[in-house]
Amino acid sequence: MKARRYRWLSRACGLGKASLYHHFPGGKDEMAGVLLQRAIAELNEVAYRHLDRPAPWNQRLSGFVDGFAAYCANGTRNCLVAELTATAARTRFADQIQVQTNAWLRQLTAAFAETGVSEKRARRRARELLGSLYGALVVARMLDDPRPFLQTIERLSKAFAAEHYAP
């Protein structure tokens, strides 16, 4: 972690740099690992839990999309899981992120399979959904404008409300 990130983290936690290392003797890798676990837990709680509730597939997917939007503060907050894949930390956390992403894709695939499409098509739709969400989030953050993300959320919500999906 760069010095400015330690300063930010210190201020955010109300701890000095030495205290950070006291609480995280494993250093920056341990800190990043804890943050990754918290991000995964938050995504599970806010977004992915909707996929496991008893409801029609389109309502579960709509809840997931709304939850993902909430996690990303409607396009004004990055997703830490994605952030870690775009940094040098990727090598340290790649396996953990890949395992978690595959688990999430299985949940999404199961919901899409309920539409009556083949397993292969359901898997493709799951990947397309994540690609649409993360792609829109990246564009929104690059432009410092949440509108591309919000437009994607609105389009997906309308599609699921109409009981069909076309990315």
Q: What are the pLDDT tens digits along the chain (167 aa)?
A: 455 555 655 554 555 666 666 666 666 667 777 788 888 999 999 999 999 999 999 999 999 999 999 999 999 999 988 888 877 666 788 888 999 999 999 999 999 999 899 999 999 999 999 999 999 999 999 999 999 999 999 999 999 888 755 55
Contacts for 69 with CB less than 8 Å, ≥ 6 apart: 75, 149, 150, 153
Distances (CA, A) of 35 to 21, 24, 54: 15, 12, 30
Residue 4 domain flag: no
Distance CA 58, CA 108 (A): 11
128, 148, 126: which is closest to 139 by C-alpha? Answer: 148
Number of domains in the chain: 1
The reported pTM is 0.82
Distance CA 98, CA 101 (A): 5
Residue 21 domain flag: yes
Residue 8 domain flag: no
